[in-house]
Structure 1
Amino acid sequence: MIGMDWDKIRVFYAVAEAGSFTHAGESLSLSQSAVSRQVSSLEESLQTPLFHRHARGLMLTEAGEVLHRTAREIYAKLNMAQGLIQESRERPKGPLRITTTIAFGSVWLAPRLKEFLEANPDIEVTLMLSDNELDLSMRQADVALRMTPPTQPDLIQRRLMTLHYHVFAAPSYLVEHGTPDALEDLDNHRLIVFGDEARLALPNLNWLLQAGCAEGCRRKAFLKVNSTFGIFRAVQNGIGIGALPHYLNDQTGNLVQILPEVNGPEVDLFFVYPEELRHSHRVALFRAFIARKTEDLAGS
């Protein structure tokens, strides 16, 4: 790179990630003054400041943000290359970062990972749970289990199964408030639904507020929550009635399905990964593992 060398970029990246010369120095085993000199030298060669220096810490300038994004991409590709090289040995080895929603990851996926980890002890798994989609093309994660198909052209997808939504309540709620026998009875019950901040891409997200209502009618929510897992925990604790994917109760068995003839939205589950990991043994192993496990879930 013109005007830049790798050692200085490495130091700059550590500072940008850590937010201070001191913490970057600790991670690099360098003194604070040595880190500061390297960054200043890089700024001089580029003829532009990369950080705003404040008493409370460091903040990237516009130029610093551009270089930080580029350095992060370089590190992500280097990590991927390292993993692919390690996989050239007989036994798959290296990091595998998996992302999915908080509910699916906590309740369904995490309990099943023991089998995969024990069968592949050299694969270093990180489970990243978020209802916000991480950017696989920017290598924020290696593979994703998503409830919506990807729109980016450089991502490979495989549909795994369909998640079915039903209506559930806790036994304690039904003892206190009674069991609705028809959709119209929901007018007199406490409904737990998604809040406006919910990021799950469900069709007709809060269908429970309108199901069985007269045209134009809409029930009032008793509680709004911004995630499926939050609704699940609220229903478990007897706060009210909620619509949930079937796998949640399959896992716990402590809820009662009410109005069994009522079916909510159907959501497809996809296995997604970047095109550049098409030949990764780690990804292939995990893809086969998840395919087997979701076949069991689909059949339950």
Structure 2
Amino acid sequence: MDWDKLRIFHAVADAGSLTHAGDILHLSQSAVSRQVRALEESLNTTLFHRHARGLILTEQGELLFDATKSMNKRLESASARIRDSKEEVFGELRVTTTTGFGTLWLAPRLPALYEKYPDLNIDLMLEERVLDLPMREADVAIRMKEPSQADLIRKRLMSVRMRLYASQGYLDREGPLDDMEDIGNHRLICQNPNSAQVSAGAQLVQLLLSYDAPKRLNVNNYFGVLQAVRSDLGVGVLPDYVTKDIPGLVRCLPEVESGEVPVFLAYPEELRQSKRIAAFRDFIQEEITAQRRKARDDDD
């Protein structure tokens, strides 16, 4: 099968248009169309349904597109390994993590990473869905549980716990939260226990709701919970890593917290020699060490 025709087919299938694919490939629409027709003839099948609104893959086209996507990811992986054979840290690094950790812990630390490696470009993908690292949906992941995918290098970074926090302004206005029975007198700000989150956080929320908290604000990520707490709206369930960097939060009910949540960094085995991965991994470890040192100094 002609590799060049497959490359052009992949671009058309991905763009959904001959014209857009031609723009990406720097080819005319007619040249792209000829290559697609030639591929269809060589396979003796139709790969696209042609409509006025664009192109739609046939069943056979879907099968071929799945194959070319896999090929494309492998080529990207090989390209990354070739580039990383040099000593310089440069190029794109696709990092995935949760919305809360990415916005509240990682993003504020990226200026220091860019200062150290100005030619590194981070593509930060924040979502609760676990991306497929072996299929190169991302290069490196920071997740709130140990990844179960095969062929990954894993490193435990730290542990976090979910705790209760409020602003001093809110507590001055609404009164203290001295025991669990007082929860009914306060607005609880948390994620819905059925939403995508670590199980330890969901279990803590379920426990708190069992104490009849009629006033609630549900937010689907910890960034939103934090902003609501800082706006004096109520008592929020937040991971402890947030409060180490943000002043003005008061911990409520210190004896109440979730179970331990492990934080793992993971990346594909095939990127073991990647200079970009190593630079990012070492930077994260240095930041965590610095945070622990600061916490010990504050306690002293």
Fold match, TM over 0.5? yes
Contact 2:185/2:213, CA 8 A, preserved across alignment: no
User: 1:142-291 alignment to 2 at 5 Å?
Assistant: 142-195=139-192, 198-203=195-200, 205-211=202-208, 219-220=213-214, 222-291=216-285
Shift of 1:209: 4.3
CA 204–197 in structure 1, closer or farther in 2 if over 3 Å, else same: closer
CA 298–62 in structure 1, closer or farther in 2 if over 3 Å, else same: farther
**Partner of residue 87, structure 1:** 84
Contact 1:161/1:295, CA 8 A, preserved across alignment: no
Query: Structure 2 stretches of 5 or more lacking a match?
Result: 296-300
Contact 1:162/1:266, CA 8 A, preserved across alignment: yes
CA 225–251 in structure 1, closer or farther in 2 if over 3 Å, else same: same
Aligned-partner Cα distance in 1 for 2:48–2:260: 48
SS in 1 for 2:245: helix
Aligned-partner Cα distance in 2 for 1:204–1:264: 6
CA 59–174 in structure 1, closer or farther in 2 if over 3 Å, else same: farther
CA 171–51 in structure 1, closer or farther in 2 if over 3 Å, else same: farther
Letter in 2 for 1:92: V
SS in 1 for 2:27: coil
Shift of 1:164: 2.0
1:246-266 CA-partner distances (Å, limit 9, x unpaired): 121222223222222322232
Contact 2:178/2:253, CA 8 A, preserved across alignment: yes
Letter in 2 for 1:231: V
**Partner of residue 100, structure 2:** 103
1:55-107 CA-partner distances (Å, limit 9, x unpaired): 32222222222222222222222222222222222323332111111111112
Shift of 1:176: 3.2
Instruction: Please give the root-mean-square deviation of Cα atoms over the aligned residues, in Å.
Output: 2.1
User: 1:46-65 alignment to 2 at 5 Å?
Assistant: 46-65=43-62
1:206-265 CA-partner distances (Å, limit 9, x unpaired): 52342495xxx6544612222222222222223322210112122222322222232223
Shift of 1:196: 5.8
Contact 1:142/1:273, CA 8 A, preserved across alignment: yes
Aligned-partner Cα distance in 2 for 1:209–1:238: 23
Contact 2:96/2:140, CA 8 A, preserved across alignment: yes
TM-score normalised according to structure 2 size? 0.89
Aligned-partner Cα distance in 2 for 1:68–1:172: 57
Aligned-partner Cα distance in 2 for 1:270–1:122: 26
TM-score normalised according to structure 1 size? 0.89
Contact 1:195/1:226, CA 8 A, preserved across alignment: yes
Aligned-partner Cα distance in 1 for 2:248–2:66: 46
Identity %: 47
Count, aligned residues? 294
